[in-house]
Amino acid sequence: MLELDDICAGYGKLDVLWNICMDINEGEFVALIGANGAGKTTTMRCISGLVKPKSGAAVFLGQRIDKSTVQQICGSGISFVTDDGCLFSGMTVKENLLMGAYIVRDKRQKEESLEKVLSLFPRLRERIRQTAGTLSGGERKMLAIARGLMSHPKLMLVDEPSLGLAPKVVATVFETLRSLTGEGVTVLLVEQNVKTTLNFVDRAYVLEHGKIVGEGSGVELKQNDHIKRSYLGIV
């Protein structure tokens, strides 16, 4: 579904990514793990069009997207849920959800999408008239993910979904993301919470200092000595 081929990127004269290569298949739940500052979010920004690669290629469903606009990439079926959610705090849950369907012109399709995400997230149905700024941290995270689904994405990019959440809420968020693959949505996740991530994903790539240094299934990486020492606190 998605191929990154030797992507190099950065901000101005500051290089952040070097020769990033990744392959994500349809229906997978894949993670990009690494420490803060490793380049994980920059990778997501390259895929979503917010950062243009200096070299290399990004191919989505057989089409080059590394030179496409953000709007074109979103329209092709990629949705990006940022680490802070970027919610409109003074707007209601329903209004935020409908903003996620901004590129959808068919009114009936919007209504169907709304009903679908409310079925996936029953708590949001209970809070439908509540303003986003008054929701709990977990509810805001759910709203951000639900809004990302409103555009009917084929691939959802999710940045740091566990950030600032209690452990029990984190597990619920990960279970929800895992369930999305059953709904036909492929998920690429960026996370610093390596232990929890490897318990849920199909595969993961390890990013360190702007370079991919390893990859494998969640089970394989949990047994990797470097991962144990560097990320799991196991000596």
CA distance 23 to 222: 21
Using only the alpha carbons of the chain, give its radius of gyration: 17
Q: Is the pTM of this model over 0.85?
A: yes
Structure tokens at 20: 């990033």
pLDDT for residue 33 is more than 90: yes
Q: Can you tell me the distance from the alpha carbon of 184 to that of 154, in angstroms, rounded to the nearest whole number?
A: 7
Angle at CA of residue 222, ends 220 and 226, nearest 5°: 100
**pLDDT over 80 (residue 85):** no
Q: According to the model, what pLDDT value does residue 235 have? A: 56
Q: Are 221 and 206 in contact (CB under 8 A)?
A: yes
Q: How many CB atoms lie within 10 A of CB 109?
A: 13
Q: Give 59's strand partners.
A: 3, 64
Strand spans (E) along the chain:
2-11, 14-24, 29-33, 55-60, 63-64, 78-81, 155-159, 186-191, 203-208, 211-217
Task: State the CB neighbour count (10 A cutoff) for residue 211.
Answer: 14
pLDDT (tens digit per residue) in 89-117: 999 999 999 988 877 777 787 888 898 88
Q: How confident is the model at residue 1 (pLDDT cuts 50, 70, 90)?
A: very high
